[in-house]
Amino acid sequence: MKVIYDRETDTLSIILRAGKVCESDEVREGLILDYDRGGRIVSLELLDASEQVKAPDSVEFALAGAK
């Protein structure tokens, strides 16, 4: 998984898996899901990220149940 914040376009992308995007769907204004040929989500794109996320240029990673 890869997280990319582009300050120039104010876009936050979360890439879940490698693969070619075959279809995209804006599920709500500013939130785009990208799908591969099999219908699996490849990535999420959040437009105007600084308006929707407290600190889009900062990422915290945690594993549930990890000690």
What was the pLDDT predicted at 67?
A: 62
Q: Say if CB 37 and CB 3 are below 8 A apart.
A: no
Mean pLDDT of the chain: 91
What was the pLDDT predicted at 59?
A: 78
What was the pLDDT predicted at 56?
A: 81
**Cα(42)–Cα(9) distance, rounded to whole angstroms?**
20
What was the pLDDT predicted at 57?
A: 81
Give the pTM: 0.82
